[in-house]
C-alpha cells in the first residue's frame, strides 16, 4: 500500500470515529437494559437507542420511556432511599439533592403538577386510573399501594418501571428533575428479533 493511501485510510478512520463519538454524545446514545424492571416492554440485555436531541427541545410526556440520572442513593438496595421521608402511605416525592453517577431507564407516569397515588401498582393520576396495558402485576407487596395522594413538584417527573413488583423507582427515591433526564428511548436494536420502535 502506498504511503498516500495509508495516510488517507488513517484520516478516514479517525474522522469516522470522531463522528461516531459526536453522534453518541449529542444525538443518539445506545443503552443496555440492566435489570428486569421494564419487563415485559424491555428485557434484560436488550439494547435501545436514546434520542438526546429531542430532549433539548421538548419536555417528556406521560408514557415516554426515558434514560436519566436518579437521585443519589437510588442505586442502593431498597430502604432508606428517599431524601425526605414521606408521610405514611405516600410515595417518596423529595429525593436527595444530588444525582447518582449511574443511569436508569423507566417510564414517565406523572409530570409537574400531577397528583398521584398508587393502587396495587396502578397509577391513579389526577383522580383517574391510568391505562397501562404494558405493565406486569405488582403482586401485592409492600411497595404496591400508596393510598395517600402526592403532587409532583414543578420541573420534576415521577417514573416507574413496567414490572411494578420488581422495579426500584420514584415510589422509593423520589422524582427526577428535568435536567437529569438524558433523553427518550425510541427504538430497540438488539436482539434482532426485538428490533423496532418503542
Alpha carbons 108 and 63: distance in angstroms, whole number: 5
**pLDDT at residue 77 tops 80:** no
**Could you give the percent of the chain with pLDDT greater than 90?**
57
**pLDDT at residue 118 tops 50:** yes
Who contacts 164 (Cβ-Cβ below 8 Å, separation ≥6)? 121, 122, 135, 136, 137, 138, 139, 144
Alpha carbons 86 and 110: distance in angstroms, whole number: 18
Q: What is the pLDDT of residue 21?
A: 47
Alpha carbons 182 and 185: distance in angstroms, whole number: 10
Spot the catalytic one: 29, 37, 99, 170.
37
To the query of whether residue 193 is one of the catalytic residues in this protein, the response is: no
To the query of whether residue 37 is one of the catalytic residues in this protein, the response is: yes
pTM: 0.85
Spot the catalytic one: 29, 69, 99, 106.
106
Q: What is the pLDDT of residue 8?
A: 64
Average pLDDT in the 36-53 region? 89
C-alpha cell of 108? 414517565
Lowest mean pLDDT among 5-9, 59-63, 129-133, 186-190: 5-9
Confidence of residue 182 (pLDDT cuts 50, 70, 90): very high
Who contacts 103 (Cβ-Cβ below 8 Å, separation ≥6)? 31, 67, 68, 69, 182
Residue range 137-167, pLDDT digits in tens: 998 777 899 999 999 999 999 999 999 999 9
Confidence of residue 1 (pLDDT cuts 50, 70, 90): low
Q: Are 129 and 103 in contact (CB under 8 A)?
A: no
CATH class in words for 30-197: mainly beta
Alpha carbons 161 and 123: distance in angstroms, whole number: 12
Amino acid at each position: 500500500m502506498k504511503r498516500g493511501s495509508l495516510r488517507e485510510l488513517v484520516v478516514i478512520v479517525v474522522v469516522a470515529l470522531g463522528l461516531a463519538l459526536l453522534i453518541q454524545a449529542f444525538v443518539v446514545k445506545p443503552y443496555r437494559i440492566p435489570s428486569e424492571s421494564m419487563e415485559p416492554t424491555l428485557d434484560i440485555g436488550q439494547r435501545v437507542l436514546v434520542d438526546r436531541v429531542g430532549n433539548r427541545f421538548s419536555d417528556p410526556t406521560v408514557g415516554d420511556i426515558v434514560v436519566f440520572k436518579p437521585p443519589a442513593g437510588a442505586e442502593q438496595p431498597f430502604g432508606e432511599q428517599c431524601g425526605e421521608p414521606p408521610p405514611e402511605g405516600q410515595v417518596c416525592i423529595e429525593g436527595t439533592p444530588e444525582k447518582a453517577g449511574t443511569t436508569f431507564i423507566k417510564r414517565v407516569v406523572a409530570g409537574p403538577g400531577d397528583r398521584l397515588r398508587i393502587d396495587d401498582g396502578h397509577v391513579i393520576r389526577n383522580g383517574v386510573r391510568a391505562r397501562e396495558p404494558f405493565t406486569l402485576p405488582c403482586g401485592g407487596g409492600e411497595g404496591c399501594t400508596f393510598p395517600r395522594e402526592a403532587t409532583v413538584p414543578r420541573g420534576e417527573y415521577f417514573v416507574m418501571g413496567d414490572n411494578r413488583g420488581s422495579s426500584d423507582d420514584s415510589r422509593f427515591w423520589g422524582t427526577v428533575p428535568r435536567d437529569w433526564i438524558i433523553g427518550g428511548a425510541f427504538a430497540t436494536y438488539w436482539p434482532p428479533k426485538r428490533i423496532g420502535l418503542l
